[in-house]
């Protein structure tokens, strides 16, 4: 069976950057299980897998713009310690998480620098601006089970307040 929408897929894979840095699979291939068509993996990865069969092994590059986007300098900002009081305790070169008190949303940021009165934060994804070099082996492909699809498409059944079928 080939990889298509509504198939459950098991892959073994590694991901490297252009400079050879291993993002995933440093100690041997990582395993990835997902159902195609439900945004469980990068859309660019899914597109490159369509049509492959168990046993197929492929190498491909996902350019930054299709992966985590280009690096955006506007996502780097300086904050005063008054705006960000915990900034004095953050370590340069480390990732941290902030939570918006009103919404509860969480934001990851990289502590790029600190000086006497401010901290410089980078809100870009760690892989922004990086092309991803994949080596993928398809281990298993099968039709997704009805229970899996019901879980992934919870709004498929039932109706909305107007009596029309939900989708």
- Is residue 162 in a domain? no
The reply to whether 33 and 114 lie within a common domain is no
- Is residue 118 in a domain? yes
Question: Six-digit token pair at 166?
Answer: 């939900």
- Is residue 157 in a domain? no
Q: What is the DSSP letter of 120?
A: E
Question: Tens digit of pLDDT for each residue in 55-82?
Answer: 999 999 999 999 999 999 999 999 888 7
The radius of gyration computed from the CA coordinates of the chain, to the nearest angstrom, equals 21
The reply to whether 89 and 113 lie within a common domain is yes
Percent of the chain with pLDDT over 90: 66
Question: Tens digit of pLDDT for each residue in 39-56?
Answer: 899 999 999 999 999 999
Would you say 56 and 13 are in contact if contact means Cβ atoms under 8 Å apart? no
Range of the domain at 113: 73-122
The reply to whether 110 and 139 lie within a common domain is no
- Is residue 159 in a domain? no
The reported pLDDT for the residue numbered 116 is: 85
- Is residue 138 in a domain? yes
Count of the separate structural domains present in the chain: 2
CATH number at residue 110: 2.40.10.330
Distant-in-sequence, close-in-space partners of 28: CB < 8 Å, separation ≥ 6:
none
The reply to whether 49 and 91 lie within a common domain is no
The reply to whether 54 and 133 lie within a common domain is yes
């Amino acid at each position: 069976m080939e990889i298509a929408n509504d198939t459950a897929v098991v892959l073994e894979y590694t991901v490297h950057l252009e400079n050879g840095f291993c993002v995933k699979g440093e100690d041997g291939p990582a395993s990835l299980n997902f159902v195609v068509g439900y945004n469980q993996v990068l859309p660019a990865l899914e597109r490159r897998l369509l049509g492959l069969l168990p046993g197929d092994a492929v190498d491909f590059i996902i350019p930054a713009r299709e992966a985590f986007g280009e690096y955006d300098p506007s996502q780097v900002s300086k904050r005063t310690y008054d705006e960000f009081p915990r900034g004095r305790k953050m370590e340069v070169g480390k990732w941290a998480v902030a939570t918006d008190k009103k919404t509860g949303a969480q934001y990851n940021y990289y502590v790029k620098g600190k000086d006497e009165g401010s901290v410089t934060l980078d809100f870009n994804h760690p892989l922004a601006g990086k092309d991803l070099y994949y080596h993928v082996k398809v281990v298993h492909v099968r039709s997704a089970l009805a229970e899996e699809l019901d879980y992934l498409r919870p709004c498929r059944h039932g109706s909305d307040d107007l009596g029309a079928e939900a989708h």
